Structure 1
Protein backbone atom coordinates (compact mmCIF):
# COMPACT_ATOMS: atom_id res chain seq x y z
CA UNK A 1 0.00 0.00 0.00
CA UNK A 2 1.11 3.53 -0.57
CA UNK A 3 -0.19 7.05 -0.93
CA UNK A 4 0.26 10.27 -2.86
CA UNK A 5 0.11 13.88 -1.65
CA UNK A 6 -1.15 16.38 -4.26
CA UNK A 7 -0.63 20.12 -4.48
CA UNK A 8 -2.17 22.65 -6.82
CA UNK A 9 0.34 24.95 -8.49
CA UNK A 10 0.29 27.94 -10.80
CA UNK A 11 3.85 27.04 -11.88
CA UNK A 12 3.51 23.36 -12.82
CA UNK A 13 6.54 23.10 -15.10
CA UNK A 14 8.90 25.08 -12.84
CA UNK A 15 7.89 23.08 -9.75
CA UNK A 16 8.23 19.71 -11.51
CA UNK A 17 11.60 20.77 -12.90
CA UNK A 18 12.76 21.82 -9.41
CA UNK A 19 11.93 18.46 -7.86
CA UNK A 20 13.28 16.38 -10.75
CA UNK A 21 16.40 18.37 -11.67
CA UNK A 22 17.42 19.77 -8.30
CA UNK A 23 16.05 17.30 -5.73
CA UNK A 24 16.39 14.06 -7.70
CA UNK A 25 12.78 12.88 -7.88
CA UNK A 26 11.58 11.00 -10.95
CA UNK A 27 8.35 11.34 -12.87
CA UNK A 28 6.21 8.36 -11.87
CA UNK A 29 2.96 9.17 -13.73
CA UNK A 30 2.14 11.96 -16.14
CA UNK A 31 -1.55 12.89 -16.34
CA UNK A 32 -3.48 15.51 -18.29
CA UNK A 33 -2.72 18.37 -15.88
CA UNK A 34 -0.91 16.59 -13.04
CA UNK A 35 2.55 15.11 -12.65
CA UNK A 36 3.19 12.52 -9.95
CA UNK A 37 6.78 12.30 -8.77
CA UNK A 38 8.59 9.58 -6.84
CA UNK A 39 11.55 10.00 -4.52
CA UNK A 40 12.57 6.60 -3.18
CA UNK A 41 8.94 5.56 -2.60
CA UNK A 42 7.74 9.00 -1.48
CA UNK A 43 5.11 10.00 -4.04
CA UNK A 44 3.80 13.52 -4.46
CA UNK A 45 2.04 15.28 -7.28
CA UNK A 46 1.58 18.75 -8.69
CA UNK A 47 -1.52 19.74 -10.63
CA UNK A 48 -1.84 22.82 -12.82
CA UNK A 49 -4.40 24.98 -11.01
CA UNK A 50 -5.40 28.66 -10.87
CA UNK A 51 -4.33 28.77 -7.19
CA UNK A 52 -1.22 27.42 -5.49
CA UNK A 53 -1.35 25.15 -2.41
CA UNK A 54 1.78 26.15 -0.53
CA UNK A 55 0.91 24.81 2.90
CA UNK A 56 2.72 21.90 4.45
CA UNK A 57 6.29 20.67 4.16
CA UNK A 58 7.69 18.08 1.77
CA UNK A 59 10.36 16.19 3.75
CA UNK A 60 13.08 14.20 1.98
CA UNK A 61 14.92 11.69 4.15
CA UNK A 62 18.52 10.75 3.42
CA UNK A 63 20.88 8.09 4.77
CA UNK A 64 23.70 10.35 5.97
CA UNK A 65 24.71 13.85 6.97
CA UNK A 66 26.98 13.92 3.92
CA UNK A 67 23.98 13.35 1.64
CA UNK A 68 22.09 16.19 3.33
CA UNK A 69 25.15 18.42 2.93
CA UNK A 70 25.38 17.52 -0.78
CA UNK A 71 21.73 18.46 -1.29
CA UNK A 72 22.32 21.73 0.56
CA UNK A 73 25.21 22.51 -1.77
CA UNK A 74 22.89 21.92 -4.75
CA UNK A 75 20.12 24.08 -3.25
CA UNK A 76 22.17 26.80 -1.54
CA UNK A 77 20.48 29.53 -3.57
CA UNK A 78 17.03 28.59 -2.22
CA UNK A 79 18.03 27.25 1.23
CA UNK A 80 16.46 28.95 4.24
CA UNK A 81 19.24 27.84 6.57
CA UNK A 82 22.42 25.78 6.82
CA UNK A 83 22.27 22.10 7.76
CA UNK A 84 22.17 21.70 11.52
CA UNK A 85 21.29 19.21 14.23
CA UNK A 86 17.84 19.47 15.73
CA UNK A 87 18.04 17.84 19.17
CA UNK A 88 14.29 17.98 19.70
CA UNK A 89 13.65 15.52 16.85
CA UNK A 90 17.04 13.78 16.66
CA UNK A 91 17.66 14.87 13.07
CA UNK A 92 20.17 16.78 10.95
CA UNK A 93 18.27 19.08 8.61
CA UNK A 94 17.81 22.19 6.52
CA UNK A 95 14.87 23.83 4.77
CA UNK A 96 14.59 25.26 1.25
CA UNK A 97 11.88 26.97 -0.80
CA UNK A 98 10.55 25.48 -4.02
CA UNK A 99 9.42 27.79 -6.86
CA UNK A 100 5.98 28.19 -5.23
CA UNK A 101 7.55 29.17 -1.89
CA UNK A 102 6.54 25.81 -0.42
CA UNK A 103 8.88 24.47 2.27
CA UNK A 104 11.02 21.46 1.43
CA UNK A 105 12.96 19.82 4.25
CA UNK A 106 16.04 17.66 3.78
CA UNK A 107 17.05 15.53 6.74
CA UNK A 108 18.65 12.42 8.16
CA UNK A 109 17.64 10.76 11.41
CA UNK A 110 20.55 10.65 13.85
CA UNK A 111 21.45 7.46 15.68
Structure 2
Protein backbone atom coordinates (compact mmCIF):
# COMPACT_ATOMS: atom_id res chain seq x y z
CA UNK A 1 0.00 0.00 0.00
CA UNK A 2 1.29 3.46 -0.90
CA UNK A 3 1.71 6.00 1.89
CA UNK A 4 -0.68 8.92 1.96
CA UNK A 5 1.07 12.26 2.16
CA UNK A 6 -0.71 15.46 3.11
CA UNK A 7 1.90 18.04 2.14
CA UNK A 8 5.28 18.72 0.56
CA UNK A 9 7.98 21.02 1.96
CA UNK A 10 11.17 21.73 0.05
CA UNK A 11 13.85 23.15 2.36
CA UNK A 12 16.61 25.42 1.08
CA UNK A 13 19.48 27.26 2.73
CA UNK A 14 19.62 31.03 3.00
CA UNK A 15 22.40 33.33 4.15
CA UNK A 16 19.90 36.01 5.23
CA UNK A 17 16.56 34.85 6.63
CA UNK A 18 15.21 38.43 6.96
CA UNK A 19 15.94 39.24 3.28
CA UNK A 20 14.45 35.89 2.27
CA UNK A 21 11.32 36.67 4.28
CA UNK A 22 11.01 40.12 2.68
CA UNK A 23 11.35 38.59 -0.80
CA UNK A 24 8.96 35.67 -0.42
CA UNK A 25 6.33 37.53 1.66
CA UNK A 26 6.77 41.18 0.70
CA UNK A 27 7.61 40.78 -2.98
CA UNK A 28 6.05 37.46 -4.01
CA UNK A 29 3.13 37.53 -1.57
CA UNK A 30 3.56 34.11 0.05
CA UNK A 31 2.29 33.54 3.59
CA UNK A 32 4.58 32.64 6.48
CA UNK A 33 3.05 29.43 7.83
CA UNK A 34 5.55 28.56 10.52
CA UNK A 35 8.40 30.50 12.12
CA UNK A 36 10.84 28.04 13.67
CA UNK A 37 13.43 30.65 14.59
CA UNK A 38 16.24 29.91 12.14
CA UNK A 39 13.82 28.28 9.67
CA UNK A 40 10.70 29.74 8.06
CA UNK A 41 8.05 27.75 6.19
CA UNK A 42 5.92 29.54 3.58
CA UNK A 43 2.65 28.34 2.08
CA UNK A 44 2.71 28.24 -1.71
CA UNK A 45 -0.40 26.26 -2.65
CA UNK A 46 -2.67 23.64 -1.16
CA UNK A 47 -0.27 21.25 0.53
CA UNK A 48 2.85 22.87 -0.95
CA UNK A 49 5.41 24.73 1.13
CA UNK A 50 8.85 26.29 0.77
CA UNK A 51 11.13 26.21 3.77
CA UNK A 52 14.25 28.32 4.24
CA UNK A 53 16.81 27.74 6.98
CA UNK A 54 19.49 30.26 7.81
CA UNK A 55 22.94 28.91 7.09
CA UNK A 56 26.25 30.75 6.96
CA UNK A 57 27.21 29.79 3.44
CA UNK A 58 24.82 29.21 0.58
CA UNK A 59 25.84 27.76 -2.77
CA UNK A 60 22.97 26.15 -4.64
CA UNK A 61 23.87 24.90 -8.12
CA UNK A 62 21.99 26.65 -10.95
CA UNK A 63 20.31 23.32 -11.73
CA UNK A 64 18.28 23.74 -8.50
CA UNK A 65 15.19 25.75 -9.44
CA UNK A 66 12.32 26.82 -7.17
CA UNK A 67 9.34 27.04 -9.54
CA UNK A 68 6.18 28.93 -8.67
CA UNK A 69 3.22 28.43 -11.01
CA UNK A 70 0.82 31.30 -11.72
CA UNK A 71 -1.46 32.46 -14.51
CA UNK A 72 -0.09 36.02 -14.05
CA UNK A 73 3.54 35.53 -15.14
CA UNK A 74 3.73 39.05 -16.62
CA UNK A 75 2.27 40.65 -13.49
CA UNK A 76 4.76 38.86 -11.24
CA UNK A 77 7.59 39.86 -13.59
CA UNK A 78 6.55 43.53 -13.40
CA UNK A 79 6.28 43.34 -9.60
CA UNK A 80 9.75 41.80 -9.29
CA UNK A 81 11.30 44.34 -11.68
CA UNK A 82 9.71 47.20 -9.71
CA UNK A 83 11.26 45.73 -6.54
CA UNK A 84 14.72 45.66 -8.16
CA UNK A 85 14.93 41.86 -8.42
CA UNK A 86 17.36 40.54 -11.02
CA UNK A 87 15.83 38.43 -13.82
CA UNK A 88 17.75 36.44 -16.39
CA UNK A 89 15.42 37.64 -19.17
CA UNK A 90 11.86 38.80 -19.74
CA UNK A 91 9.09 36.17 -19.79
CA UNK A 92 9.03 34.01 -22.90
CA UNK A 93 7.38 30.92 -24.32
CA UNK A 94 9.27 27.64 -24.17
CA UNK A 95 7.76 25.32 -26.79
CA UNK A 96 9.80 22.30 -25.65
CA UNK A 97 8.12 22.25 -22.23
CA UNK A 98 4.85 23.99 -23.12
CA UNK A 99 5.35 26.85 -20.65
CA UNK A 100 5.57 30.64 -20.48
CA UNK A 101 8.19 31.63 -17.89
CA UNK A 102 11.17 33.58 -16.62
CA UNK A 103 13.93 33.08 -14.08
CA UNK A 104 14.74 35.51 -11.27
CA UNK A 105 17.34 35.53 -8.54
CA UNK A 106 16.27 35.10 -4.92
CA UNK A 107 18.03 36.85 -2.03
CA UNK A 108 20.51 34.01 -1.45
CA UNK A 109 21.23 33.56 -5.15
CA UNK A 110 18.65 30.82 -5.57
CA UNK A 111 17.13 30.48 -9.02
CA UNK A 112 13.37 31.18 -8.90
CA UNK A 113 11.25 30.34 -11.93
CA UNK A 114 7.83 31.89 -12.43
CA UNK A 115 5.77 29.97 -14.98
CA UNK A 116 2.43 28.96 -16.34
CA UNK A 117 1.66 25.89 -18.40
CA UNK A 118 0.33 26.32 -21.95
CA UNK A 119 -2.11 23.52 -21.13
CA UNK A 120 -3.19 23.88 -17.48
CA UNK A 121 -2.54 21.00 -15.10
CA UNK A 122 -5.60 18.89 -14.25
TM-score scaled by length of structure 2: 0.83
Runs of 5+ unmatched residues, structure 1:
none
Match of 2:23 in 1: 18
- SS state of the match for residue 18, structure 1? helix
Q: How far off its partner does 1:51 sit?
A: 1.8
Query: Are residue 57 (structure 1) and residue 58 (structure 2) matched?
Result: no
Matches of 2:16 and 2:27 in 1, distance apart?
A: 16
Query: Are residue 82 (structure 1) and residue 82 (structure 2) matched?
Result: no
Match of 1:109 in 2: 117
Runs of 5+ unmatched residues, structure 2:
1-5
Matches of 2:50 and 2:14 in 1, distance apart?
A: 13
Name the Cα RMSD after superposition.
1.2
- SS state of the match for residue 50, structure 1? coil
Q: How do 1:38-53 residues align onto structure 2 when only pairs under 5 Å count?
A: 38-41=43-46, 42-53=48-59
Q: How far off its partner does 1:61 sit?
A: 0.4
Q: Confirm or deny: 8 A CA contact 1:7 1:52 kept in the other structure.
A: no
Matches of 2:32 and 2:60 in 1, distance apart?
A: 20
Aligned residues: 108
Q: How far off its partner does 1:10 sit?
A: 1.3
Q: Which has the larger radius of gyration?
A: 2
Q: Which moved more, 1:8-17 or 1:88-97?
A: 8-17
Matches of 1:6 and 1:48 in 2, distance apart?
A: 11
Q: Confirm or deny: 8 A CA contact 1:27 1:38 kept in the other structure.
A: yes
